[in-house]
A = this chain, B = another copy of it.
């Protein structure tokens, strides 16, 4: 397979070149992970658990790195107001200055890749890099079932409700009877799936059993950061084939007319519009898809 050959060549060349450059620019006077950690903390700060998830670090290791940066007066941590266990790391004044310096180095690195090329080559390189970056991000997204009450599920749902409130013409307020009922969305009769990019939740979706053999898709949400990468479609396919008890022969869902990407996704994924089947006051379209058998 020639594609595989191409990817191997890409892997080797890029690993070598980026390895050398990262060392040279970003790891010059400080360990590379410390630089990466400072990039992740950024100007707005981040909780330790976010940092751990994004960089894929061991909890002990990340804690020690933060202590090292604190000793250098580049970072300060304080407890999060909402949850006394969580700590938020912020860059100090000199940490922000250091981040600026790192960003300048990172820009130098980028320019050093373009400098030897002709203008035409440089333009093609940037274009191809943007495409690779986008598609590699898409290919790095992973789907996993979660407990609907877990932290990652909660984080997704908060963003989901916030988005509904922002996009529905008359806003959105979660009715008590619609609040996630843990049992419904958990096995065996249902399931909640979270999509993660480098450890961070970027989308979710759930399925529950409406009647024997009939499922309903709920709470489909994809973070704006990864829209247009086909995450919604993969999420939908994953949910349709999640094992529910009893096995599903058809799936339904409802949605609001203002969620245009979702409408398009359902229509091109084999869903056909059906009459109202529930009393959801926010729903304006109802869909159903017949499942022909599991893969």
Q: Which residues of A contact B (CB under 8 A)?
A: 1, 3-4, 6-18, 20, 22, 39, 56, 106-107, 109-111, 113-118, 121-122, 124-133, 135-141, 198, 230, 233-234
Q: Is the CB of B116 within 8 A of A234?
A: yes
Q: Is the CB of A7 within 8 A of B126?
A: yes
In the bound complex, residues from chain B placing their C-beta under 8 Å from that of A113 are 7, 136, 139
Q: Is the CB of A131 within 8 A of B124?
A: yes
Q: Is the CB of B14 within 8 A of A18?
A: yes
Alpha-carbon gap, A124 to B132, bound state (A): 8
Alpha-carbon gap, A15 to B21, bound state (A): 11
Q: Is the CB of B124 within 8 A of A8?
A: no
In the bound complex, residues from chain B placing their C-beta under 8 Å from that of A132 are 10, 14, 125, 128-129, 132
In the bound complex, residues from chain B placing their C-beta under 8 Å from that of A22 are 11, 15
Q: Is the CB of A13 within 8 A of B137?
A: yes
Q: Is the CB of B128 within 8 A of A7?
A: no
Q: Is the CB of A9 within 8 A of B230?
A: no
Identify which of B18, B118, B135, B139 contacts A11 (C-beta below 8 A). Answer: B18
Q: Is the CB of A6 within 8 A of B130?
A: yes
- Please give the distance in Å from A184's CB to the nearest CB on chain B: 29
In the bound complex, residues from chain B placing their C-beta under 8 Å from that of A6 are 126, 129-130, 133
Q: Is the CB of B140 within 8 A of A107?
A: no
- Please give the distance in Å from A26's CB to the nearest CB on chain B: 9
The CB with the most chain B CB atoms within 10 A, among A9, A20, A22, A133, is that of: A133
Q: Is the CB of A4 within 8 A of B117?
A: no
In the bound complex, residues from chain B placing their C-beta under 8 Å from that of A8 are 106-107, 109-110
- Please give the distance in Å from A123's CB to the nearest CB on chain B: 8
A1-B107, A113-B136 given; name 7 further pairs at CB < 8 Å: A3-B114, A3-B122, A6-B133, A11-B22, A14-B14, A14-B132, A116-B138
Identify which of B9, B114, B118, B139 contacts A7 (C-beta below 8 A). Answer: B114
- Please give the distance in Å from A196's CB to the nearest CB on chain B: 12
